[in-house]
Amino acid sequence: IAQSTALPIILYNVPSRTGLELTTGALYPLAQVENIVAIKEASADVSKLENKMSEFKDAFYFYSGCDELILPAYSLGSHGVISAAANVIPREISTLCALFEGNKVKEATSLALELAPIIRELFAEVNPIPVKCALNLMGMCENELRLPLTPSSRREQIKKILQL
């Protein structure tokens, strides 16, 4: 697929959705494809991210795909986050990234800990169910989901955590 376009490609490693892990062995041939430029690492395992980053730091940019691991990923040298929570709390996620990138690690850590309950709630069910529910509560979209997804059973908890 990457060889059929000149566009830059980001690989997504999201085992919780695919049931498969993008292993380091699979990355070796992909690192040779010029326009595969980055990886969204959403395995939720910092040691896997560390292993891949140490092996392929010169081949790919790395982005955290787990909102709860933004700071650990940054501390290993990731280039940012591809965030689901940013759909709901964009200013806060942007500020968190800017603080870390500005070497304000203590402030970034404090904000990450403050955001942790919201992020946990946004992932208490299969994504995008809680995110869509939160956006609906905020008046930003309808709460329509395609099957097999169903509306959130945690609507009141989401409303409470977002103080709506």
Mind telling me the catalytic residues?
Answer: 12, 40
How would you class 13 by CB atoms within 10 Å of its CB: exposed for 0-12, middle for 13-18, buried for 19 or more?
buried
For residue 81, the cross-strand partners are 64
Question: What distance in Å separates the CA atoms of residue 131 and residue 124, rounded to the nearest whole number?
Answer: 10
∠ CA 60-64-65, rounded to 5°:
110
DSSP state of 34: T
For residue 10, the cross-strand partners are 38
Nearest one of 74, 64, 68, 43 to 121, comparing CA atoms = 68
